[in-house]
A = this chain, B = another copy of it.
Amino acid sequence: MAGEHCFFLLKEDKPREACGVFGIFAPGLDVARLTYYGLYALQHRGQESAGIAVGDGERITCRKGMGLVGDVFAEESLSSLSGHIAIGHVRYATTGESSLENAQPFAFYYKRGMIALAHNGNLTNYAELRRELSQSGSIFQTTSDSELIVSLIAGNDSGDLTAGIQETMRRLCGAYSLILTTGNRLYGIRDPYGIRPLCLGRLDDAFLLASESCALDTVGAEFIRDVRPGEIVMIDESGITSLQSHQQGRRALCVFEFVYFARPDSVIDGLNVQKARYALGRELAREYPLEGDLVIPAPDSGVSAALSYASARRLPFGEGLIKNRYVGRTFIRPTQQLREMGVKLKLNPVRERLAGKRVILLDDSIVRGTTSGKIIQMLRDVGAKELHMLVSSPAVTHCCYYGIDTSREGELIAAGHSVEEIRRHIGADTLHYLSLSGMQAALAPFPREEVCDACFSGDYPLEGKERL
């Protein structure tokens, strides 16, 4: 399968989450502003575009733009969005097409009025559905599977919208957490496998939906519960109604949410993310009880596991690498010549702490193996005596088809190389990955058959992996 397309993208050698979604039904409150703050809390899930659509019972008005939430919205544009329902979206480009047309929410006119949608996930039968709809005369402004979902829902002849949604869910394969509004109702929908997270909250009389619970905390809302796999939550003036879709699938929550994506303060399907990362670090300490003078994390994502590893091993933990907090999306990257001269913007090692030490470097994952080697070289340059690399998840050997931005499988270093080869490639003295069973132990609240760990195991919960 090496060489085929899959969808990782690897700045900092991490996979990228495709999106974050947020929704609120709150007559009397400034729903656009609350959505703005909610999206801020979900910004780590997507930084390419941001958008908010607000419904006032009659019309849906949508504003979106390229860039961070704070870049896209100013006081004026927020103030112009009034209504009692809002949905919001932050996005990464999963398919490399990065343009305003693909920014969400998507708002459309359809036979019953207007409809707007925000989507996190990825359909695996996209191409087939698209072909079918095109044949029957549909036109599309984008190649996004989210536009296609609206087409299916809007074109459905069932009695009402809710029936149309249920009907549509029968036809969708893949991962989707959807937030949808018609301008007077708010819907939250999670695919039958529950691959992407989605949770429900309350703020006085208002109800909220969000990709992660940290967004509820941020707007001062109370967490109620996670939306269940295959559930349709419908919110309007009479409160919350829950429907279950007819499809059945095994639960398959994405484990990478715990390994890397989600914010440490979020709780997903009952498990706190930081707690999961500490458990991953502890399992690593159990599997590989190394000796050393200092445990340092790869900033920032390795910190939690490194702290718990160091604590379990009773070794000193230290911030051996200082990250420049101001290196943003717009900076001018050094030329090759400057890089060779030693120009390095993002990370700088603290020589005083590292010189002469046996260093244990801990990262949460290795995808292409592009940055670990550079970090190790940097550490050796300031005099680290030994360098042992630990990874608090198993080797990434398979592509994701459910909404994580990856590259071709051929680019996954562990898909084609042994651990020893990777160790040599990155220049570490030793290299250890957490085992699959170690990860399962760390994520114990979930039986293995209720998560998706396909990128580590190749064990895909759904058939079909095609994408346009």
A interface residues with partner B (beta carbon < 8 Å): 30, 33-34, 36-37, 40-41, 43-44, 47, 68-71, 73-75, 78, 107-111, 115, 134-143, 150-151, 154-157, 203, 214, 217-221, 263-265, 267, 272, 274-275, 300, 303-304, 307, 311, 316-319, 322, 324-328, 330-332, 334-335, 338, 341-345, 348-353
Contact = CB atoms under 8 A, between A and B. Distances in A.
Nearest to A222: B342
Contacts of A154: 137-139
Contact of A110 (B139, B311, B316): B139
Contacts of A331: 40, 69-70
Contacts of A34: 338, 343
B319 A303 contact: yes
A334 B34 CA distance: 9
A327 B218 CA distance: 12
A272 B349 CA distance: 12
Given A139-B155, A304-B319, A332-B78, A350 B264 contact: yes
A348 B265 contact: yes
A274 B40 CA distance: 31
Determine which residue in A317, A331, A332 has the highest number of CB atoms from chain B within 10 A of its CB, and name it. A332
B220 A343 contact: yes
A143 B109 contact: yes
Instruction: Report, nearest first, the 5 A-B pairs whose CB atoms are least far apart.
Output: A220-B342, A137-B155, A111-B134, A272-B352, A43-B326
Q: How many copies does the complex hold?
A: 4
Contact of A274 (B141, B324, B343, B350): B350
Contacts of A316: 311
A139 B137 CA distance: 11
A19 to B, nearest CB: 15
A111 B140 contact: no
Contacts of A136: 155
A295 to B, nearest CB: 11
A40 B324 contact: yes
Contact of A322 (B68, B138, B264): B264
A40 B350 contact: no
A342 B206 CA distance: 14
